[in-house]
Amino acid sequence: MRRGLATAALAAGLVVLGATFAGPLHPAGDSLAVGRPFLAALLVIAGLLLRGRMGWAAVAGGVLALAPILWAMRPIEGPEPGQGIVVYQKNLLYSVDDPAQIAADIRDSGADVALLQELSAQNGELTGMLADVLPHQAVCPSNTPGTVSILSRWPFQGEPYCATGVGLAWVRVALPQGEAAVASLHLDWPWPQSQPEQVAHLLPRLRDLPRPVILAGDFNAVPWSQTVASIAEATGTDRAGPLRPSFSLGGLPITLDHLLAPEGWSAATQMRPGLGSDHRGQRTTLTP
């Protein structure tokens, strides 16, 4: 009886694991995908303990799901110091009322561009604190808490574009390597929240961005989700690695913040501390 229940539980676990890959079919798949690594690890452990045909099937399913995640966590060698474009991304947390530590971290990172989310009345002094090193600034309202913003060492080419109310800001920036469209993005939570509708609204705009595109933000979606894949496809970009958690969901470390670099560019990311926010920042060095 006990073994039968264990076998049934493993079978159910495999079904749920399969559903984490269903994002292209229904947005609920992206919501389930958040738990994929934890479910896969549990299946491997439980399968080894139970053994038998179903046990080994659970082990095989868990290993197949975990392998690409573990591969994405491998260290990635970045460009030599002083080379490339340094992009800093962070969800500031709208309720942080003293952003001085975050401002110091952005300054210490040597950021050429900062792509920020949840700028608010409470933490809005941040832009002024960085005006001497990142003087070119755009701030756009969002329907998610706070606003999205772009701060740059280099001049903007043309006026910033604000997709008001849907969490996107972008502008052409005159990088030393040539002009690029630089975008800051903040998405809502996945299904059943409004992320699917928000992404559907944004994708046509993202497809129209002039190439190359550098896009970063709080996606509220994991790297293997359909949301991240569809935005990368629309912008001609790849996610910069390695895979590192940026947020804690009920004590579980998950990766919700991403930088997407133009296809073919070299990109390596280092995580930064939270400094009062519920998200860690990330510093990415990009080389065309």
Does this model's pTM top 0.85?
A: yes
**What three-state secondary structure class fits 268?**
strand
Distances (CA, A) of 6 to 15, 36, 50, 137, 257: 14, 20, 8, 57, 36
Q: Please tell me what DSSP assigns to residue 103.
A: H
- What DSSP assignment string belongs to 153-215? SS-EEEEEEEETTTTEEEEEEEETTEEEEEEEEE---STTSSHHHHHHHHHHHHHTSPSSEEE
What confidence tens digit (pLDDT) does each residue in 95-150 have? 999 999 999 999 999 999 999 999 998 999 999 999 999 999 999 876 666 699 99
Residue 85 contacts residue 114 (beta carbons within 8 Å): no
**Residues 81, 36 contacting (CB under 8 angstroms):** no
First CA to last CA across the chain, in angstroms? Answer: 60
pLDDT at 9 over 80: no
On whether the CB atoms of residues 210 and 262 are closer than 8 A, the answer is no
For the chain, what is the mean pLDDT? 91
pLDDT tens sequence across 184-199: 999 999 999 999 999 9
Report yes or no: 20 and 35 within 8 Å, Cβ to Cβ: yes
Closest CA to 29 of 234, 225, 167: 225
Pick the more confident residue, 10 or 286. 286
pLDDT of residue 166 exceeding 90: no
Provide the pLDDT for residue 2: 61
The β-bridge partners of 216 are: 184, 259
